Chain A
Amino acid sequence: MTDKFHLGWFTNFAPPVWEGQFSGQNGATWANGKFYQDMARSLERARFDYIMLEDSSMVSDAYEGSSRADLKHHLYAPKHDPLPLMPLLAAATKNLGIVATASTSFYPPYQLARTMTTLDHLTGGRAGWNIVTSSEDRAAQNYGRATLEEHDSRYDRADEFVEVVDKLWNSWEPGALLMDRETGQYVDHTKVHPIHHDGQFYTVRGPLNAMPGPQRKPVICQAGGSPRGRQFAAEHADTIIAQSRGVERMKAYRDDIRARATAAGRNPDDIKVLFIVSPLVAATDEEAQEIWAARTVSAEANVERALAHLSALTEVDFSKFDLDEPVPGDVTTNGHRTTLAEFLKLGDDGRTLREVAAGWNINAVDLVGSVDTVADQMGEVMAHVGGDGFLISGPMTRPYIGEVTEGLVPALQARGLTRTDYLTAGANGAPTFRDNLLAF
């Protein structure tokens, strides 16, 4: 029985912090990918399981009915396609898993299956796919629809999408690749099969024209808070991004996922649930608290960023509400339901919209202190919840990344809480992303 838990980092292929005092030339150069390559190296040094690149395909004008705020704070744009970044991150690393987001609402399944297989080869068995169904009408409008499909219907589509890509990934049997010089035969056609899928949403003949990669099927990542989302995740995911707030709800979420997985005939240990946190570490607890307090003050003065983000996520225009009144109660979304619900709940204590927005984060628990304090805390939380790890998210600056990889992680490793080395061998030869995920 191990005490070890997993680490991931949650980010996207978008501008890092560009205007801070320690942001270098990030604003001008991020799009060449090097900032993220350096970050991937740092994560690998710290033996993270994976980097997760979220994604979306729209410029938001939900806030104030204009894209001003979105583009000012670079919330949803610019955001570049994470798939082409994956080979660059792979070239800079050897073991780190690389997960990128692609939407089942917009990708043709055959294309996604083929791209992911190609990437599994290019990354040496380290590719992962974060499944989203998308959550914005503006995105749907970029793909020719007036509105996004309704929430549950999206998940029905996603179910079938995953069924199709699974069939495609299995359309080549093991051993199909022969390379037989005697007969001059590269591939054995009797081991490559059409899938003849004919479903509610998709008709796909197959077979895939790409050979299976080292993992045969990329690691599947998914975030899903709604019941429908949880069911989907429990059935399909290898790793789940969880947003539950507080140790009790974290534990409840994980237990629920595991129960659903068991009911679906899966081994619950095969799913690693990672909880989003944004640790703030400093030389001492006092210093960390001071920085935290200063950030809160600053956030209250700059609450537009948080509100614009929330507006984009939920497509509700939060600029319409009075900042210094209590949080409105009767707001709904076809987009990120859980996120909205969690936000609205924060207003239960009567605080104003400004206060709540300033303090809004999607962290499972607050982690503020010296590296020793935070490492201890993380260990305690994991012991209570049962597993499986944390997904770090935070200000995208090199110093912050360094505080985690060069400061916090060594403290975790000293306590035996995170790995000190990746596997040297996997289930079928060289260790893959999935092998390392399942190592403990």
Chain B
Amino acid sequence: MFHMGWFMGTGFGVYNWNQRWSGNVSSDVGNPQLFVDMATSLERAGFSYMMLEDSSVLPNVHRGTFESSVKNGGTIRFDPVPLIPFLTQATKNIGIVATISTSFYHPFMAARLFSTLDHVTNGRVGMNLVTSSNKSAMQNYGLKDLIPHDERYDRANEWVDVVKALWNSWDEDAVLMDEVNGVFADHTKVHTVDFEGKYYRSRGPLNTIPGPQRHPVICQAGGSDAGREFGARNADTIIAAVKGVEEMKSYRDDVSARMIAMGRDPKDVKVLFLISPVLADSKAAAEEKNAAMLKASAENIDAQVAGFSYFTSTDWSKYDYDEPFPDLSKNEGHQSTMNDFARSGATIREAVTNHRTQESVPLIGTPESIATEMGEYMDYAGGDGFLIAKPVTRQNITEIADGLAPALRKQGLIRPSYEHSTFRDNLLAY
């Protein structure tokens, strides 16, 4: 069996505004109901988690204005953290992961907030840690410029150490609630942390009691060398954006090797690979659907390129789209994604037209045929599952939850039901 998740590309955002099959998305903006319906649907399908991506910037790099950002609402992102209780209140088992930036949250605040959320969600919350890759986002926080890529990870490692130390500041048996002797908690089991690091200091202890998971799940994405080290060291689940089944396998093997070198058991991290399956009643219909999507994307190349401007904090509208993809290996933003494109030797237009960044392997067909392929890829790669990376629309959700998932279940590839009550336990169950 493997795990399923959903990577929500613009988090608590606006998906497919003004497109066919998306309903009247305007009334959904800032409204939790679409995401609540998504959570109940994915729980029906036995998903392990939903992951709300996030970022703290409204880009105005492309052509130097906000126009491309707000034309279709696609870069709007509400803070994903307050959405979490809405989703867990409507469900029982599915895990909810929200992205927070180690650059913007002080570790004490994050530790306290997520400890509290662990209670509010009955043990189903996780945090996806990013270090923030965008200059404008840093400037929103009054920070002058991007911190160099590798230093960001040094800070992030220390940040995690502080958070975990704070989560451990109460021993497991500190809370007594002894009414006979009138003792709520035993002070000898609650400890200051006195963390003195290169980047962070915190005295502790937390003033929250440990939640059901004690340590909320930690998620991470980031394929650079420093990113992989960070994931292997700290994460419980890793999101991988790679190309092809060979890279899937080598990524999983690499994570395992790094973990072993650190003294961790590789089974303690679940690596999930991004996919964007195109589903239909027949293979032919699915191929047609796929062709139509690529055509629409090619016709709207400017919107795609605006995305690159955002990723790299450079204005791509200045490039000739029919020239080869520029080499951005030194780019301080999203390193691995840009490297993939540069290596492919394609022009910008070709790269945009033929690629979807959000898929490790192409999957085009019926629920049954795709389920079979997914099983084969997972067998080869060695674990641990897939993340759907399609836009969050009700039609996409039901295709996956009521089409693909039952087919996966029928082939014994995903869980028939949840065995445990916390997210962490369900994630690490296999």
Contacts and interface: CB of A to CB of B under 8 A. Distances in A.
B37 A407 contact: no
A26 B45 CA distance: 12
Interface string B109-123: 000000000000000
A78 interface: no
Nearest to A398: B398
Interface in A92-134: none
Interface string B400-412: 0111011100000
B69 interface: no
Contacts of A397: 402
Contact of A24 (B289, B394, B406): B406
B395 A406 contact: yes
B337 interface: no
B44 A410 contact: no
A289 interface: no
Nearest to B280: A21
Contacts of A399: 395, 398-399, 402-403
Given A24-B406, A25-B44, A405 B23 contact: yes
Contacts of B281: 21
B231 interface: no
Given A41-B33, A399-B402, A21 B395 contact: no
B20 A402 contact: no
A45 B405 contact: no
B402 A22 contact: yes
Contacts of B366: 21
Interface in A42-61: 42, 45-46
B401 A24 contact: yes
A410 B402 contact: no
Nearest to B402: A24
Contacts of B367: 21-22
B394 to A, nearest CB: 5
Contact of B402 (A23, A45, A283): A23
Contacts of A406: 21-23, 393-395
B300 interface: no
Given A21-B281, A21-B403, A23-B406, A402 B37 contact: no
A300 interface: no
A407 B21 contact: yes
Contacts of B405: 24
A397 B403 CA distance: 11
A397 B292 CA distance: 24
B24 interface: yes
Contacts of A283: 20, 289, 292
Those 7 A-B pairs whose CB atoms lie nearest each other, nearest first = A24-B402, A406-B23, A22-B403, A398-B398, A407-B21, A402-B395, A21-B367
Interface of B: 20-24, 27, 33, 37, 40, 44-45, 279, 281, 288-289, 292, 366-368, 393-395, 398-399, 401-403, 405-407
Interface of A: 21-26, 29, 34, 38, 41-42, 45-46, 283, 287, 371, 397-399, 402-403, 405-407, 409-410, 413, 420
17 contacts: A22-B398, A22-B399, A23-B402, A23-B406, A24-B45, A24-B402, A24-B405, A41-B37, A46-B23, A399-B398, A402-B23, A402-B394, A402-B398, A406-B22, A406-B393, A407-B23, A407-B395
